[in-house]
Amino acid sequence: MDGKWICEFGAGMDAPPVEADAALLGAKGDSLVQMSGLGLPIPPGFIIAAGASLAYCDTGKHSPGLEEQVGKAWERLESNLRGLGRPSLVSVRCGSGDLIPGLMDSVLNLGINDENVENLARMSDSQDFAFDAYRRFVEMYGDAVLGVDRRHFEEILESYKARHDLELDTDLRARDWSALVKEYQKMIHKRTGMDFPRTREEQLWGAISAAMRSCGNARARGYCRAQGVDCSTAVIIQAMVFGNVGEDSATGFFSSRDVVSGERRLRGQFLRDSQGGDIAENARSPLPLCADGDVSLGRSLEETMPQAFAGLQNAAEKLERHYRDMVEVAFTIERGEIWLLESLRGDRSTRAAVKIAVDMVEEGLSTRSEAVLKIDPSSLQQLLHPMLDADAEYEVLAHGLAASPGAVSGAIVFSADDAEAFERQGYKVIFVRRETSPEDIRGMQSSAGIVTTRGGITSHAAVIARGMGRPCVCGARALRIDEKGEALYVGSRKLERGATITIDGSSGEVILGKVARIQPEFSGELKRLMNWADGYRRMGVRANADTLTDARLALEFGAEGIGLCRTEHMFLDEERILAVWQMILTRSAQARQEVLEKLLPMQREDLTGLFELMAGLPVTVRLLDPPLHEFLPRRDEEQKRMADASGVNLDNVRRRIAELRESNPMLGHRGCRLGITYPEIYEMQARAIFEAAAQASKKTGSPVEMEIMIPLVALKRELEVLKERINGVAEEVRAETGLSLQYKVGAMIELPRAALRASEIAGLADFFSFGTNDLTQTVFGISRDDALGFLGAYSREGILEQDPFVSIDQKGVGELIRLAVERGREERSDIILGICGEHGGDPASIEFCESLGLEYVSCSPYRAPIARLAAAQAKLRAADN
> CB 785 → its own copies: shortest distance, Å?
4
Q: Is 763 in the site for its own copies (CB under 8 A)?
A: no
Nearer Cβ to its own copies (567/777): 777
> CB 756 → its own copies: shortest distance, Å?
5
Q: Is 677 in the site for its own copies (CB under 8 A)?
A: yes
Q: Is 782 in the site for its own copies (CB under 8 A)?
A: yes
Out of 7, 290, 836, 859, the active site residue is 836
Neighbours of 214 (CB within 10 A): 23
Separation between Cα atoms, residue 431 and residue 414, nearest integer Å: 6
Under 8 Å CB-to-CB from 314, ≥6 apart: which residues?
Answer: none
> Which of these segments, 98-106, 294-302, 399-407, 792-800, binds its own copies (CB under 8 A)?
792-800
**Residues 700-719 vs its own copies: string with x where CB under 8 A?**
------------x-xx-xx-
Clarify whether 460 is annotated catalytic: yes
**Among 216, 277, 703, 812, interactor with its own copies by CB under 8 A:** 812
**Among 504, 550, 705, 774, interactor with its own copies by CB under 8 A:** 774
Nearer Cβ to its own copies (179/806): 806
What is the maximum alpha-carbon separation in the chain?
105
> CB 811 → its own copies: shortest distance, Å?
6
**Among 1, 179, 721, 844, interactor with its own copies by CB under 8 A:** 721
Angle of CA points 876, 879, 881, to nearest 5°: 115
472 pairs with which residues across the strands?
404, 450
Q: Is 189 in the site for its own copies (CB under 8 A)?
A: no
Out of 7, 57, 94, 460, the active site residue is 460
Q: Decide the pairing of beta strands 401-404 and 472-474.
A: antiparallel
Nearer Cβ to its own copies (673/734): 673
Q: Is 811 in the site for its own copies (CB under 8 A)?
A: yes
Q: Is 487 in the site for its own copies (CB under 8 A)?
A: no
Q: What is the DSSP letter of 401?
A: E
Separation between Cα atoms, residue 160 and residue 152, nearest integer Å: 12
> Which of these segments, 114-122, 134-142, 168-176, 666-674, binds its own copies (CB under 8 A)?
666-674
Q: Is 816 in the site for its own copies (CB under 8 A)?
A: yes
Q: Is 362 in the site for its own copies (CB under 8 A)?
A: no
* Binding residues with its own copies: total (CB under 8 A): 48
Q: Is 478 in the site for its own copies (CB under 8 A)?
A: no
> CB 356 → its own copies: shortest distance, Å?
40
> Could you give the count of Cα atoms lying within 13 Å of 92 in the half-sphere of its Cβ?
26
Q: How far is CA 299 from CA 285, 287, 305, 350, 353, in A?
A: 12, 7, 10, 30, 29
The one-letter amino acid code at 187 reads M
Separation between Cα atoms, residue 527 and residue 814, nearest integer Å: 32
> CB 435 → its own copies: shortest distance, Å?
8
Strand ranges (E), 225-321: 235-239, 250-255, 267-272, 287-288
Give yes or no for a contact between 259 and 267, defined as CB atoms under 8 angstroms apart: yes
Clarify whether 629 is annotated catalytic: no
Query: b/e map of 493-529 (b: 16 or more CB within 10 Å)?
Result: eebebeebbbbbbbbbbbbbeebebeeeeeeebbebb
First to last CA, the chain: 26
> CB 754 → its own copies: shortest distance, Å?
9
Under 8 Å CB-to-CB from 501, ≥6 apart: which residues?
Answer: 397, 409, 410, 412, 430, 451, 495, 510, 511, 512, 513
Nearer Cβ to its own copies (132/785): 785
Separation between Cα atoms, residue 747 and residue 815, nearest integer Å: 19
Query: b/e map of 822-843 (b: 16 or more CB within 10 Å)?
Result: ebbbebbeebbbbbbbbbbbbb
**Among 106, 244, 350, 778, interactor with its own copies by CB under 8 A:** 778
Q: Is 780 in the site for its own copies (CB under 8 A)?
A: yes
Nearer Cβ to its own copies (260/799): 799
**Among 75, 347, 594, 797, interactor with its own copies by CB under 8 A:** 797
> Which of these segments, 149-157, 370-378, 512-520, 659-667, binds its own copies (CB under 8 A)?
659-667
Q: Is 800 in the site for its own copies (CB under 8 A)?
A: yes
Separation between Cα atoms, residue 434 and residue 414, nearest integer Å: 9
Binding positions for its own copies, rule: CB under 8 A: 435, 662-669, 673, 676-677, 712, 714-715, 717-718, 721, 750-753, 756-757, 774, 777-783, 785-786, 789-790, 793-794, 797-800, 809, 811-813, 815-816
Q: What are the residue numbers of the active site?
A: 460, 836
